[in-house]
Amino acid sequence: MRKALKLALIYFIILIPGTILGTLLYSLYLNLLGFIAGRDITFFRDQELFKSLFYVMFCMQIFILPLISYYRIRHPGGALQLTVYIVLCALTWALFVPCTFKLKDFCSRKFTFENKTESLSPNYFRKVDDDVYYFTTEFCVSTKGRAPEAQAIIIDTTENGGVEYKTIGDNSNFVLNRKAQPFREVQLKNIFGENSNPIPVDFRLLNSMISGAYSGGIQHILTLISFVLLLCSVYGITNFFDWRLLNAVILFITTALILCLNSVYFTPMFDSIKTTIMTKTFLKALSGIVSEPLLFILNCFFAFLFITSGVVKFAIRKHAKKAR
């Protein structure tokens, strides 16, 4: 009984402080992305906190069930602990997640934030490729309807390079803006490096898929249920091995692979594979019931595997105890 109640307590202890801390940290990250040399930096602005809060809330709700599963690795319980876990799963995905999306939509309609992008500051040298840019004036709108413009000295650092003085528009195609992505300041991109390998899990894509499923029909709901079932089924492998450290590693890897599968599946690189496989008669028939038949089958298969392994392991251990 105590282990089951502790599981519920740990759920809220991780979820609430984790969301608050994550919101503050992600807000600082957004500050870093928008930082411009020579400009005043304001921490925890309303717009950034708003973006951070709902993004982190979603991420925490994705991770919370695998996270509390770590508690079972060290403190395995019986049927009551499993019942509490199932209740927490239902509470998360039937109440908290849809309420988060509804609250975000409500706040988006109720509150408006000024989405202002600051222009690059003058009197700083910015190097991109072989050119160095030095703005001598602030960016300002000289012609209505056009991007802000500023005078700049462009120094070509190649062997036979020269110096050019011209007017530059602050638009998305401008090389300093393009090469700085995802930062605003190209100098930060130079500091943090250009060859950063993004993780294969796209939480924004998952957010879009899951929010779309709640507002979609039964076909999308079934696909979502398969994902939720798979994510929650990691509880079944938390006590699979006798070595706790190995269980913790397997839980981490499994959770990462689940998120990768359900994220990569919706990327363009997977489209050709889906098109080839979807020509099968069985999957064609299933497409009338489920929005993503292939993903549905994969999720359900692995969920069944994890649940079965957990049940079998539990039965083996119970039988071993009786035999002693």
User: What is the side-by-side order of every strand in the sheet holding 131-135?
Assistant: 125-128, 131-135, 149-156, 163-169
pTM assigned to the model: 0.82
In the chain, the largest separation of any two C-alpha atoms, in whole Å, equals 88
One-letter amino acid at 112 equals T
One-letter amino acid at 23 equals T
Contact of 235 with 85, CB cutoff 8 Å? yes
Q: What is the pLDDT along the chain (324 residues), one digit of tens a residue?
A: 787 888 899 999 999 999 999 999 999 888 888 888 777 777 777 788 888 999 999 999 999 999 999 988 888 877 888 899 999 999 999 999 999 999 999 988 887 776 677 778 888 888 888 888 888 888 888 777 778 888 888 888 887 878 888 888 888 788 888 888 888 888 787 777 655 556 677 888 889 889 999 988 899 999 999 999 999 999 999 988 888 899 999 999 999 999 999 988 888 777 777 777 777 667 777 777 888 888 999 999 999 999 999 888 878 877 766 666
Instruction: Report how far residue 100's alpha carbon sits from residue 102's, in angstroms, rounded to the nearest whole number.
Output: 5
Burial environment of residue 109 by CB neighbours within 10 A (0 to 12, 13 to 18, 19 or more): exposed
Q: Cα torsion at 309, 310, 316, 320 (round to 10°)?
A: 150
